[in-house]
Amino acid sequence: METKYIFVTGGVVSSLGKGIISSSLACLLEARGFRVTIQKFDPYINIDPGTLNPYEHGECYVTVDGHEADLDLGHYERFTNMRTTRANNITTGRIYQNVIDKERHGDYLGKTVQIIPHITDEIKRNVKLLGNTGNFDFVITEIGGTVGDIESLPFIEAMRQLQWELGDSALCIHLTYVPYIRAAKELKTKPTQHSVKQLQEAGIRPDILVLRTERDIPADMRRKIAQFCNVSADAVIQSVDLPTIYQVPLKMHEQHLDEIVMRKMGVPVEGEPDMAAWMHFVHKLENAERTVTIGLVGKYVELQDAYKSINEALLQAAAYNDRKLNLVYVHSEKLTEENVGEKLAGMDGVIIAPGFGQRGIEGKFVALKWLREHDVPTFGICLGMQCMVIEFARNVLGLADANSTEMDLHTPHNVIDLMDEQKSVTDKGGTMRLGAYDCRLAPGSRVARAYGRDLVSERHRHRFEFNSDYRARFEEAGMKCTGENPATGLVEVVELPDHRWYIGTQYHPEYSSTVLSPNPLFLDFIKSAIVYGEEKMNK
Ligand code: GLN
């Protein structure tokens, strides 16, 4: 089948969930046996979101090939079987950088380089890049931002041209918002009409409208929207707020989103998507009666997107263990020796979050000491793992002032140190140790038992590492290095085997956890938390 291109745009306001709608559609199309990929085009000028503060942009997701990416790519992977790469996330910055590089190289042969056609051509080339591999039946392109933003104009124009060139092989889904005005007790369609008009002014007629709303939109109102917006009545779909994003594919299928897309693109509609495994998961998620309480110790606790992949990996692992997840954010800056017991006593398990810099770090040490001494299931991820090592060095090995050279350049005991390959690095963007690396797990270790394998591949995003000069001292005192990179010997996992579950990973296992393939380490952590929680209750 010739590759079909689906564009997803947004109107009225941001944060409507274009990423979830794109992922849900991809999930349904995959469940019909199609090969699908999703790419996100972000209109900002940063080359990638790797240098962005979580306050600006939430979590930074990492692809297997080491691209620091928008968190929507995390949704794409969690909802499907796809593995995204750097080709799945393009920013305005990258488009301009490519064009300027070509200009310096002399590729434009003396022409004046302009937004149209040079920037738009580069956008079009990137839209088609994945499609041209022949690996996909559908390429879904999500355009970040909202229609009408100055920044997104070149993307919208490129999309208009592509729609014209591709005919029936291109389609536009426009996502808008239908607000409910409480005082008037009315849903309002005017913002949707305006935003469709704005798209039409740019020369694009949306084929399908998805209306995000808090309340059910009556059928006659949807018909009215169809009429005003030149969209067929059955192609106006509502996306009512749901208790979990994982219901969205099912709700979209109930309204035939997948069929409408296929019909409009001339793809024969046969049978139904096989959503059995997905429904099994959602059923578990919705019907879990008991709860597992997990604390997340970090410094971005007020931001719901800062630890997105960790939250989702925990939720998946809890659901597969027939538990509702009660996730409690614990602000690392507010933890002290005095209040740590009170703050953590209610937890069945605790995650020590990844991060950068000094802020909140001492609170992580306080938490870790308490968790280690009380034998609470504890999972340190990246900086969290490094903190486990530092806390152990200070309080068990007796190396006062042990630290990471990230926090204290002159520490007498640099148990965490800058990686050799990082020593000559000066640029901040895209220069960490990024992407998937193999990790060999010590046979019989807790981590190897959790995975059920001795060799895994997980994704990284860091500059500092366990300092192997100290390895023997740690191992003698009980902290074992149970995972290492087979090529370089870098320590990737530490654990305390005499504890019920005390594991730190230099890598980020949360990035690879999906609905249909939850990460084994998260599953095992939650299992252990459940056992501990039950023991606590029966005491
Ligand atoms: N700041 C640490 C490092 O660069 C940990 C990074 C992280 O947690 N992602 O090594």
Query: Ligand 1: which residue has its CA nearest to atom 6?
Result: 462
State which ligand 1 atom lies nearest to the alpha carbon of 384. 8
The catalytic residue among 382, 387, 439, 481 is: 382
Q: How close are the terminal C-alpha atoms of the chain, in Å? A: 62
In angstroms, rounded to a whole number, what is the distance separating the alpha carbons of residues 506 and 406? 15
Judging by beta carbons within 10 Å of its beta carbon (0-12, 13-18, 19+), is residue 322 exposed, middle or buried? middle
Check residue 13 and give its pLDDT: 84
The pLDDT > 70 percentage for the chain reads 100
CA of 529 to the centre of ligand 1 (A): 25
Cβ atoms within 10 A of the Cβ of 116, count? Answer: 12
State which ligand 1 atom lies nearest to the alpha carbon of 381. 8
Of how many residues is the chain composed? 539
Mean pLDDT (the chain, rounded): 95
CA of 159 to the centre of ligand 1 (A): 38
State which ligand 1 atom lies nearest to the alpha carbon of 461. 9
In angstroms, rounded to a whole number, what is the distance separating the alpha carbons of residues 406 and 521? 27
The catalytic residue among 59, 68, 122, 510 is: 510
Average pLDDT of the residues in 343-355? 96
Q: pLDDT digits over 98-112, tens only?
A: 999 999 999 998 899
For 300, 366, 383, 408, the CA distances from 357, given in Å and listed in that order, are 13, 17, 9, 10
Q: Given ligand 1 and candidates 51, 307, 406, which is best to mutate, with the most ligand atoms within 8 Å of its CB?
A: 406
Q: Given ligand 1 and candidates 59, 463, 505, which is best to mutate, with the most ligand atoms within 8 Å of its CB?
A: 463
CA of 238 to the centre of ligand 1 (A): 41
Q: pLDDT digits over 302-322, tens only?
A: 777 889 999 999 999 999 999
Q: Are strands 378-381 and 502-505 parallel, antiparallel or unpaired?
A: parallel
Check residue 50 and give its pLDDT: 87
Collapsing DSSP to helix, strand or coil, 323 comes out as strand
Closest-CA residue to 436 (of 524, 506, 489): 506
Check residue 247 and give its pLDDT: 97
Closest-CA residue to 344 (of 325, 323, 319, 370): 370
Q: Show Cβ contacts of residue 85 under 8 Å, excluding neighbours closer than 6 positions.
A: 63, 64, 65, 67
Q: Given ligand 1 and candidates 308, 461, 505, 511, which is best to mutate, with the most ligand atoms within 8 Å of its CB?
A: 461
Q: pLDDT digits over 439-490, tens only?
A: 999 999 999 999 999 999 999 999 999 999 999 999 999 999 999 999 999 9
Query: Ligand 1: which residue has its CA nearest to atom 3?
Result: 462
Check residue 29 and give its pLDDT: 98
Check residue 520 and give its pLDDT: 98
Task: Tell me if residue 460 is catalytic.
Answer: no
CB-based contact 69:39 (threshold 8 Å): no
Task: Tell me if residue 439 is catalytic.
Answer: no
Check residue 51 and give its pLDDT: 85
In angstroms, rounded to a whole number, what is the distance separating the alpha carbons of residues 432 and 141? 28
Check residue 229 and give its pLDDT: 86
State which H helix or E strand residue 315 sits in: helix 308-320
Q: pLDDT digits over 68-98, tens only?
A: 999 999 999 999 999 999 999 999 999 999 9
Check residue 421 and give its pLDDT: 87
CB-based contact 48:89 (threshold 8 Å): yes
Ligand 1 binding pocket (C-beta < 6 A) is 354-356, 382-383, 406, 461-464
Predicted confidence band of residue 429 (pLDDT cuts 50, 70, 90): confident
In angstroms, rounded to a whole number, what is the distance separating the alpha carbons of residues 384 and 403? 13
Task: Tell me if residue 382 is catalytic.
Answer: yes
Tokens of 415: 């148990």
State which ligand 1 atom lies nearest to the alpha carbon of 356. 1
State which H helix or E strand residue 221 sits in: helix 219-229
CA of 441 to the centre of ligand 1 (A): 21
CB-based contact 192:224 (threshold 8 Å): no
CA of 155 to the centre of ligand 1 (A): 34
CA of 384 to the centre of ligand 1 (A): 9
Tokens of 435: 């992407």
CA of 467 to the centre of ligand 1 (A): 14
State which ligand 1 atom lies nearest to the alpha carbon of 353. 8
Query: Ligand 1: which residue has its CA nearest to atom 1?
Result: 356
Q: Given ligand 1 and candidates 68, 300, 383, 510, which is best to mutate, with the most ligand atoms within 8 Å of its CB?
A: 383
In angstroms, rounded to a whole number, what is the distance separating the alpha carbons of residues 476 and 469? 13
List the beta bridge partners of residue 331.
298
Predicted confidence band of residue 281 (pLDDT cuts 50, 70, 90): very high
In angstroms, rounded to a whole number, what is the distance separating the alpha carbons of residues 374 and 245? 36
Q: Show Cβ contacts of residue 501 under 8 Å, excluding neighbours closer than 6 positions.
A: 349, 377, 378, 379, 446, 524, 525, 528, 529, 532
The catalytic residue among 67, 460, 499, 508 is: 508
Average pLDDT of the residues in 408-417? 95
Residue 118 has pLDDT above 90, yes or no: yes
Judging by beta carbons within 10 Å of its beta carbon (0-12, 13-18, 19+), is residue 138 exposed, middle or buried? buried
CA 227 to chain centroid, in Å, comes to: 37
CA of 60 to the centre of ligand 1 (A): 12
Q: pLDDT digits over 158-203, tens only?
A: 999 999 999 999 999 999 999 999 999 999 999 999 999 999 999 9
List the beta bridge partners of residue 181.
186
Based on DSSP, count helices (H) and strands (E) in the chain, helices before strands: 18, 23
Check residue 56 and give its pLDDT: 79
